[in-house]
Amino acid sequence: EVQLVQSGAEVKKPGESLRISCKGSGYSFTSYWISWVRQMPGKGLEWMGRIDPSDSYTNYSPSFQGHVTISADKSISTAYLQWSSLKASDTAMYYCARPVGATVTAFDIWGQGTMVTVSS
């Protein structure tokens, strides 16, 4: 079964750092980009950025460039999303997602989501 499994919920304080993970299985991890999508409480979906696990090349949405870092370790089929200094406004559900294909960047495989809560 093709799946993405994300790390568990996190509760952090403003200014703390955090890295969440997304592990792929059931397919060739290096054959598909992995994207991260944010969903703030009660709000819609926002694409944050993506990584090519084969060479760790990344693209970021301008809205998130410089605020987060996306990385991957292809040896363990895992992608990461990290913050160096969290803000309360980072409180959201974060999903990783895999596209249908190289030219069809609709997302057919999603992780279960990681809820990040940032509060003092």
Partner 1 sequence: EIVMTQSPATLSVSPGERATLSCRASQSVSSNLAWYQQKPGQAPRLLIYGASTRATGIPARFSGSGSGTEFTLTISSLQSEDFAVYYCQQYNNWPPGGTFGQGTKLEIK
Q: Could you say which of 20, 22, 48, 118 contacts partner 1 (CB under 8 A)?
A: 48
Q: Does residue 102 interact with partner 1 by CB under 8 A?
A: no
Among 46, 67, 69, 91, binds partner 1 (CB under 8 A): 46
117: contact with partner 1 by CB under 8 A: no
CB of 16 to partner 1, least distance (A): 26
Residue with tokens 């979906």: 45
Stretch that binds partner 1, among 11-19, 74-82, 83-91, 97-105 (CB under 8 A): 97-105
**Cα gap 95→39, rounded to integer Å:** 8
Q: Contacting partner 1 (CB under 8 A), which of 3, 7, 10, 47?
A: 47
Specify the residue, 49 or 78, whose C-beta has the smaller distance to partner 1: 49
Rg over CA atoms, the chain:
14
User: Interface with partner 1 by CB under 8 A: which residues?
Assistant: 33, 35, 37, 44-50, 59-62, 95, 100, 104-108, 110-113
